[in-house]
Amino acid sequence: MSGLLARYAAVAGEDVIEQLRGLARPLAGLRVVHVNSTRVGGGVAEILVKLVPFLAELGLRATWEVIEGDERFYACTKLFHNALQGFPLTPTAAQLAVYERTNRDNAESLRPALRDADVVVIHDPQPAYLRECVPERRGRWVWRCHIDLSHPHRPVWRYLLPRVAGFDASIFSLPDFVQRLPHPCYLIPPSIDPLSAKNIELEPAEIAAVRERFGLDPARYLVTQVSRFDRFKDPLGVVRAYRLAKLHVPGLQLVLAGGEAADDPEGAEVLREVQTAVGDDPDVRILLLPADAHRTINALQRASDLILQKSTREGFGLTVTEGLWKGKPVIGGNVGGIRLQVHDHQTGFLVDTPEGAALRIRYLLSHPRIRERMGERARAFVQEHYLLTRHLVEYLALFHCLLKGRAQRIEVG
Ligand code: UDP
């Protein structure tokens, strides 16, 4: 067993690694290309940076390509993102032309890789038009939707539907998001890497140093939300929940840790709104961290008494998984992928309003024993369902289905 596989065996169990090796053996040399629109920032990049090298370690020829565009392209794809998650926004014909042209331009440079791949996995809408730009493709193409597609704004979905319908399969994170499509749809929720800088165990001294660096008082309670500054993450709702909870929890501290995703043009505006709402409150830290500040985020999550993720739409919410893995109850918005992970009184609480979030903050902070027990359950829940190794097993099984047909028996081992 390679060093990497042995390290994961220690966390995820020998049996999972054996299963992975068995599934991967018949797929040795398979050319798999993942395509998304940013190498840093946001959950998709966070997943691919681990998934792709692991697939390569298992013997597949896996690569990761990133499409590039200008501001107008990202403005259009952000509009897609917002509209597909329910905002009533419709792109103009000129915006759609930019979207299609950018995909065509990227297809030129990616053509050899895309044409020769056995499996192409296209992440989210940004590169979804690529498929039409590579008519000579020979592999199977899969659309992997990471966003909450439960109530898309219809005009935008009507535009995207014919693009997506041409794929051989789609992957969604949960059943609520699945749309009517003329091909097989699979459910594969995301995962976290337990051995990454973001999730690895840290020494208490390192956590204490990060607390000190940001002027956080270890003697007072701390709640944290880690998220891009995006309206769907509801940072203003978090500030309101903190204010309400603080009326009953004197000295409560709040960290809002964010940063930019290269493909998210709206962040600066949302950040300004949050700064205005926070004003000069000395107990709130708005942290703009570089994209590679994984250990810092790890330490902040561990330094917190509980984690917030008060999204109003959420494809999955890796920040929730990260918090749970660190043994922290999560108070999360009652939406999308958060509902897969947060279970009332078990791993945290689902909330619909800032007022609800404030009540749950008060409850958890005043019941340390309950908080601790929920934290233990939270970690065990992630161990069982949301580690990278489970994600890989499901991807490999999907590749078998795509290439060999669902009727065929897959020999593992
Ligand atoms: N993240 C980060 N720095 C930040 C904000 C977020 O590294 O300033 C990470 C976060 O830890 C998580 C990912 O980016 O791993 C966000 O994934 P999630 O699914 O929560 O949300 P998305 O941004 O994809 O909507």
Ligand 1 centroid from CA 226, angstroms: 7
**Cα-to-centroid distance, 229 and ligand 1 (Å):** 10
User: Helix (H, G, I), strand (E, B), or coil: what is residue 83?
Assistant: helix
The atom of ligand 1 lying closest to the CA of 259 is 8
DSSP one-letter code for 231:
G
Residue 148 CB coordination number (10 Å): 28
204-385: CATH number = 3.40.50.2000
CB of 299 closer than 8 Å to CB of 218:
no
Look at residue 272 in the predicted model and tell me its pLDDT. Answer: 94
Q: Supply the DSSP symbol for 63.
A: E
What pLDDT is attached to residue 266?
A: 84
Element (H, E) at 381: helix 368-385
The 10s digit of each residue's pLDDT in 88-113 is 999 999 999 999 999 999 999 999 99
Task: Please identify every stretch of the chain with a pLDDT value under 50, giving residue numbers as ranges.
Answer: none
pTM of the prediction?
0.93
Ligand 1: residue of 174, 271, 297, 307 to mutate (most ligand atoms within 8 A of CB) is 297
Say what the pLDDT of residue 41 is: 83
Q: How far is the CA of 40 from the centre of ligand 1 (A)?
A: 10
Q: Which CATH number fits domain 3-191+387-404: 3.40.50.2000, 3.20.19.10, 2.60.40.1260, 3.30.465.10?
A: 3.40.50.2000
Q: DSSP class of residue 94?
A: H
| Closest ligand 1 atom to Cα of 337 | 19
Fill in the DSSP letter of residue 387: B
**CB neighbours of 162 closer than 8 A, spacing ≥ 6?**
none
DSSP letter (8 states) at residue 378 = H
Mutate to test the pocket of ligand 1, among 144, 226, 386 (most ligand atoms within 8 A of CB): 226
Distance 317 CA to ligand 1 centre (A): 8
Measured CA to CA, the distance from residue 128 to residue 156 in angstroms comes to 13
CA atoms within 13 A on the CB side of 389: 24
Phi, psi of 128 (to 5 degrees): -65, -25
| 305 Cα–ligand 1 center, Å | 19
Pocket lining for ligand 1, CB < 6 angstroms: 42-43, 46, 198, 226-228, 257-259, 289, 297, 316-319, 322
Order of strands across the sheet that contains 222-226: 284-288, 253-258, 222-226, 306-309, 330-333, 348-351
Distances (CA, A) of 181 to 35, 161, 247, 261, 394: 21, 8, 50, 30, 21
User: What's the chain's length in residues?
Assistant: 413
| Site to substitute for ligand 1 among 319, 320, 326, 339, most atoms within 8 A of C-beta | 319
State in Å: Cα 194 to ligand 1 middle.
15
The predicted pLDDT at position 95 comes to 98
Q: Alpha helix locations (H) across 85-228? A: 93-116, 130-133, 154-165, 204-213
Burial environment of residue 112 by CB neighbours within 10 A (0 to 12, 13 to 18, 19 or more): exposed
Task: Give the DSSP letter string of 30-60.
Answer: -EEEEEES-SSSSHHHHHHHHHHHHHHHTT-
Q: Are 125 and 160 in contact (CB under 8 A)?
A: yes
Report how far ligand 1's centroid is from the alpha carbon of 183 (Å): 30
For the chain, where do the domains classified as CATH 3.40.50.2000 start and end? 3-191+387-404, 204-385
pLDDT of residue 2: 77
CA 58-382-290 angle, 5° bins:
80
Q: Show contacts of 101-107: CB within 8 Å, 24+ apart.
A: 102/67, 102/68, 102/69, 102/70, 102/73, 103/67, 103/127, 103/128, 103/129, 103/130, 103/133, 104/129, 104/133, 106/67, 106/68, 106/69, 106/130, 106/133, 107/133, 107/134
- Alpha-carbon distance 293 to 222, whole Å? 19
